[in-house]
Amino acid sequence: MSTQSDNLRVVLVSTRNPLNIGAAARAMSNFGFLSLRVVNPYEVAFREARSAVGASAVLQKAEKHSSIAKAIADCSLVVGTTTLRQRERHHPLYRLEEGAQRIRTSLSTTRVALLFGSEKVGLSNEDLSHCHWLVHIPTRDAHPSMNLGQAVAVCLYELVRGWKPVKAKKTPVASSGELERITTVLMETLRASGYLGRTAPVTAEAKVRRLIRRMSLQDGDADLLLGMLRQILWKVHSNG
């Protein structure tokens, strides 16, 4: 169990309230998940939370990153949290119960990032494009949106609730860093080939990023695909 817990990164994106960062860290410590990463927090909030009296070890060791891509670069599975009502969906969406089961399976072999968005708007479409799939906590339609610290506590509780010794040995899957490299080269190829205009909107990039994440590429396949794309791109450029 301890290695599996070590493989989870809780990633708080654009958190505004220091109390929520502190609450998230406390729940992490309660349930034995010690690796916290914050992306682009409200600067004062992060400093305050970190320097609070009795700030936990989790908080003191928390890493700050300037982008989601950097915060999840070493993770092979990236899961976003959302409410059912939130915006248009482009991702598979699981109830927490089923999502946690999938996360646990992955944690036995690889690093997993669990993303929580800001208090006001949750994860943006750009944020979500880094995710392989989403989970939602089964809240009431009349009041779906949970407090951030409470949402973190519930998700981690569900993860711990179902721990069972896992035996399966799985094929290692590609890291987010590799997937992002594939995304970049494919975008460039699509532009160079005229599939996308030179000034393709950011939504196009998000769409491509999600496509690549949905492929559940294995480690070696990511290499293979990247090699193919680089050669194709070289050809498109050299002839263009």
Q: What backbone torsions phi and psi does residue 54 show, to the nearest 5 degrees?
A: 75, 20
Considering only 51, 60, 67, 193, the residue that binds a second copy (CB under 8 A) is 193
By the rule CB under 8 A, 98 interacts with a second copy = yes
Count of residues in contact with a second copy, rule CB under 8 A: 65
Give the Cα separation of 219 and 74 in Å (integer). Answer: 12
By the rule CB under 8 A, 52 interacts with a second copy = no
Nearest distance, CB of residue 185 and a second copy, angstroms: 12
By the rule CB under 8 A, 198 interacts with a second copy = no
* Residue whose CB is less far from a second copy, 71 or 213: 213
* Residue whose CB is less far from a second copy, 71 or 128: 128
Tell which positions 12-41 bind a second copy, by CB under 8 A: 19, 23, 26-27, 29-32
Considering only 51, 60, 67, 171, the residue that binds a second copy (CB under 8 A) is 171
Considering only 66, 169, 198, 199, the residue that binds a second copy (CB under 8 A) is 169
DSSP H or E segment with residue 80 = strand 77-81
DSSP 86-141: SS---S-EEEHHHHHHHHHHHHTTS-EEEEE-BTTTBS-HHHHTT-SEEEE----T
* Residue whose CB is less far from a second copy, 63 or 97: 97
SS3 state at 79: strand
By the rule CB under 8 A, 153 interacts with a second copy = yes
Give the Cα separation of 131 and 84 in Å (integer). Answer: 16
Give the Cα separation of 44 and 25 in Å (integer). Answer: 17
By the rule CB under 8 A, 189 interacts with a second copy = yes
* Residue whose CB is less far from a second copy, 66 or 198: 198
Tell which positions 55-84 bind a second copy, by CB under 8 A: 56
Bridge partners of 13? 39
Neighbours of 157 (CB within 10 A): 14
Nearest distance, CB of residue 67 and a second copy, angstroms: 25
Neighbours of 124 (CB within 10 A): 15
DSSP annotation of 13 reads E
How far does CA 181 lie from the centroid of its chain? 16
Closest of 200, 198, 220 to residue 208, by C-alpha: 200
By the rule CB under 8 A, 192 interacts with a second copy = yes
List residues binding a second copy (CB under 8 A): 19, 23, 26-27, 29-32, 56, 92-95, 97-98, 137-140, 142-147, 149-151, 153-154, 157-158, 160-161, 164, 166, 168-169, 171, 186, 189-190, 192-195, 207, 211, 214-218, 221, 224-225, 227-228, 231-232, 234-236, 239-240
